[in-house]
Chain A
Amino acid sequence: MKTTSFGEWVLYGGICAYLLTLLVMPSQLWLGFTINALIVAILSVAWNLLGGFGGQMSFGHAALFGTGAYVTAMLQVRWGINPWLAAVAAIVAATAVAGFIAALSFRYGLRGSYFALVTLAFAEVLRILASSFEISGGGQGILVPYKAGLANFQFADRSTTYALVLFLVVVAMLITLAVQRSRFGAYLIAIRENEEAAKALGIDTFRTKVLAMMLSGAIGGAAGVAYLQTYLFIDAPIAFGSTMSIEALLGPIIGGAGTVWGPLVGTLIIHGLGETAKHLVSGAPGLNLVLYGVVLMVILRYLPDGIVGLARRIGPRRAAPTAMPEDR
């Protein structure tokens, strides 16, 4: 078992302390910001499964997020289906969309830049479709009527929403941990490091990548459901636009791709930075995104393992950190 470094204890401890404090002592000011960051973090965890562990960078994870959000919204508003059932259906739908995209792309051997582009194109097709048809609300989007209550999956109290979103993040990270420690995770990492060699060793690379994308789709769909139930509104640019796809990959790459904590760490840090920038320079649309871009470039240049990689190097070294999970 690889040891956790001092820097990691401090980093993870700090984040847990912040998130738990907010759970015990809710502050409206911080809750709004943190709920938003955590929803993005769920999508980032989803991206990390395929992009971080499997090395298949998707530039269109909004397709999965948006499917989750739209399917929940449409089932509730158009057909009056119970939100919890709609949520389940949405996650199934996002998994199916992910499986479809992955099966088509990987069947034809797309990788690297080609995979990034085809996922982006899928998200773009869904964006145009969602804004073109009456059933998905066209250009106006879908507004879910506000009826607070457990049965409606809506909560009058923000801290309840927060607890729910935090719970989803924890579940998503536990799934990542389980993947990392499983044979399946080892296959994924092998594919990332050298796909030809992985294939030569008898790994079914196609099946592994499609399964990873489907798992990613389920979690990404859940992020979409969480978004919809929190803000009760969705439209095509939010759901399928490039911003969400970019946010999905910023967290893991800045935090540390292919690590359990990376997506959460990265998302919280960039959202914190963005929020600070908003307060310092008020009335400046897009300036937080400029900052995200700069941070991304600096991380790529100086911290290829992200913030988590940096934390791993801080403190007394007991064992050489390895990227590989232990073999069972």
Chain B
Amino acid sequence: MWSLVLPAILGGLTTGAIYALVALGLTLIYGVLHIINFAHGSLLMLALYGVYFLYAILGIDPYLALLIVVPVFFVLGYVLQRGVISVFSLGKEQNVLLVTLALAIIIDNLALYFWTSDTRTISLPYAYTMVEIGPAFIPLPRVIAFVAALVAAVILWLIMSRTRLGKAIRAVAIEKRGAELVGIDVDHTYAMCFGIGTACVAAAACLLLPTFYVTPQVGYAFVLVAFTTVVLGGMGSFMGALVSGLLLGVIEALCGLFLGESLGQIGIFLAFILILLFRPSGLFGRRAA
């Protein structure tokens, strides 16, 4: 029994690390801008294509691609927030939800148009190098992803707690008008947040592609899981996003093991509904929603 369950748990933890990384970006955007970014999954899909083409055309290793994709997506996120989302939503919360939904529709279907619905994968020489952990064998890229997600969470935490930018972000999140009064550029801070959140997604893409695939629809599967992670962890909580991402990875792996592969994700959505209903402030949330 344990020989089946333990590998499933460890595998789930590595999947969960990616969920956590995607969710870290989402929770930052939610925590500060108080908006739900539906385009988050679509941006992940775009980043996955970026990593794919860098490898397929230029032969750049996905881990090296981190250095290119992350800054590019930071800028993309900054511009999207400042040039598109804030302009088209007129700053209303309900509209932001719809504008990001519209962005998701546009990005997903443009990708479908340009790149067709073919499933694309890359094959790295070290993709099947196994690392032995107890009774389980985990592919090396998944171990790297797990460690990198933890590192990313620490970096984000350091940015938020130790830098001037982090201080400004926290100030805007708590009291927007007050922050404006003491001279913080709110629009700039919003856009920086969105940029960092998008950079997280780009990092996730680099870590994900070695053991995953990309299609234009891939973002949708992740966006709901990311929402679940964010809600479970408490909107805006980094620690919460990290822990709940790992937890959901394990839930999915165990549901897949006991209920069959196709029903694996149902555990995640049932968890999502249950959390929203019984504890909308999340496991680590301080305030009720």
- In the complex, the chain B residue whose C-beta lies closest to that of A301 is B88
Nearest Cβ on chain B to A144's Cβ, whole angstroms? 24
Task: Pick from B4-12, B108-116, B134-142, B178-186 the stretch touching chain A.
Answer: B108-116
Is A98 in contact with chain B by the CB < 8 A criterion? Answer: no
Contacts of A246 in B (CB 8 A): 101, 105
Known contacts A297-B103, A301-B89; 10 additional CB pairs below 8 A are A57-B94, A108-B280, A110-B280, A112-B94, A113-B36, A117-B231, A246-B105, A284-B113, A290-B109, A293-B104
A118 to B: closest C-beta gap in Å: 5
User: Would you call A121 an interface residue if the criterion is a C-beta within 8 Å of the partner chain's C-beta atoms?
Assistant: yes
The contact string, 1 if C-beta is below 8 Å from chain A, for chain B 79-104, is: 00000000111100111011101111
> Contacts of A293 on B, CB cut-off 8 Å?
102-106, 109
B227 contacts A by Cβ under 8 Å: yes
**Taking the nearest CB of chain B, how far is it from the CB of A29, in angstroms?**
25
Q: A-B contact count, CB below 8 Å?
A: 121
A150 to B74, CA, bound (A): 60
Give the residue of B98, B105, B262 whose beta carbon is less than 8 angstroms from that of A131: B262
Q: Find the B residue at minimum CB distance from A55.
A: B94
Contact B97 A290 (CB under 8 A): no
Interface set, chain B 240-289, CB cutoff 8 A to A: 260, 262-263, 265-266, 269-270, 272-273, 276-278, 280, 289
Chain A 300-319 interface residues, beta-carbon cutoff 8 Å to B:
300-301, 304
List residues of chain A with CB within 8 A of the CB of B276: 105, 108, 110, 114, 117-118, 121
Q: Are B97 and A113 in contact (CB under 8 A)?
A: yes
Using a CB–CB cutoff of 8 Å, the interface residues on chain A facing chain B are 57, 59, 104-105, 107-110, 112-114, 116-118, 120-122, 124-125, 128-129, 131-132, 242, 246, 249, 253, 284-287, 289-290, 292-294, 296-298, 300-301, 304
Question: Distance in Å from the Cβ of A289 to the closest Cβ of chain B?
Answer: 4
The CA of A293 and the CA of B266, in the complex, are separated in Å by 29
Nearest A residue (CB) for B107: A293
User: Which of B35, B105, B280 meets A114, CB within 8 Å?
Assistant: B280
Question: A286-B113, A289-B105 in contact; A121/B94 too (CB < 8 A)?
Answer: no
Q: How far is the CA of A125 from the CA of B224 in the complex (A)?
A: 11
Q: Is A122 touching B101 in the complex (CB atoms < 8 A)? A: no
Which 4 A-B residue pairs are closest in the complex by CB-CB distance?
Answer: A286-B109, A293-B105, A293-B106, A286-B112
Determine if A121 and B280 form an interchain contact, defined as CB atoms under 8 angstroms apart.
no
Judge if B220 is at the interface, Cβ distance under 8 Å: yes
> Does A121 contact B269, Cβ atoms closer than 8 Å?
yes
- Contacting pair B97 A116 (CB below 8 A): yes
Give the complex CA separation of A53 and B18 in angstroms. 40
Secondary structure of the A contact surface, majority rule: helix
CB of A128 within 8 A of CB of B224, answer no
The listed residue with most B CB atoms (<10 A of its CB), out of A57, A114, A122, A287, is: A114
A129 touches which of B94, B266, B280 (Cβ 8 Å): B266
Residues of B within 8 A of A286 (CB): 108-110, 112-113, 216
Chain A residue nearest to B35 (CB atoms) is A113
Closest-by-CB residue of A relative to B104 is A293
- B97 near A114: Cβ-Cβ < 8 Å: no
Of the four ranges (under 10, 10 to 19, 20 to 34, 35 or more), the interface on chain B belongs to 35 or more
Interface residues of chain B: helix, strand, loop or mixed (majority)? helix
Is B105 within 8 A of A300, CB to CB? no
Question: How far is A33 from B228 in the complex, measured between Cα atoms in Å?
Answer: 37
Do residues B263 and A104 form an inter-chain contact, with CB atoms below 8 A? no
Contacting residues, chain A, for B35 (C-beta < 8 A): 113
6 A–B contacts from the bound complex (CB under 8 Å): A108-B280, A114-B289, A118-B273, A124-B269, A286-B108, A296-B99
**B93 in complex: contacting residue of A112, A122, A242, A296, CB < 8 Å:** A112
Nearest to A290 among chain B residues (CB) is B109
Q: B231 contacts which chain A residues (CB < 8 A)? A: 114, 117
Given A110-B276, A287-B109, are A300 and B103 also a contact pair (CB < 8 Å)?
Answer: no
The answer to whether A290 and B89 touch across the interface, beta carbons within 8 angstroms, is no
User: Do A300 and B99 form a contact, CB below 8 Å, given A113-B36, A121-B269, A128-B263?
Assistant: yes
Bound CA span A220–B227, Å: 26
CA distance A249 to B270 in the complex (A): 24
Decide: A118 and B277 in contact? CB cutoff 8 A: yes
CB distance from B29 to the nearest CB of A (A): 12
Q: How far is the CA of A125 from the CA of B109 in the complex (A)?
A: 24
Of listed A59, A113, A285, residue having the most chain B CB within 10 A: A113
Q: Which residues of A contact B112 (CB under 8 A)?
A: 285-286
Give residues of chain B (1-29) contacting chain A, Cβ–Cβ below 8 Å: none
Q: Are B105 and A116 in contact (CB under 8 A)?
A: no
Q: Which residues of A contact B224 (CB under 8 A)?
A: 120-121, 124
Nearest chain-A residue to B260 (Cβ)? A132
Distance in angstroms from A132 CB to nearest chain B CB is 5
Name the contact of A292 in the complex, choosing from B105, B260, B270 (C-beta under 8 A). B105
- Say yes or no: B98 contacts A300, CB within 8 Å: yes
Question: Separation in Å of the A270 CB from the closest CB of chain B?
Answer: 12
Q: Indicate if the CB atoms of A104 and B277 lie closer than 8 Å.
A: yes
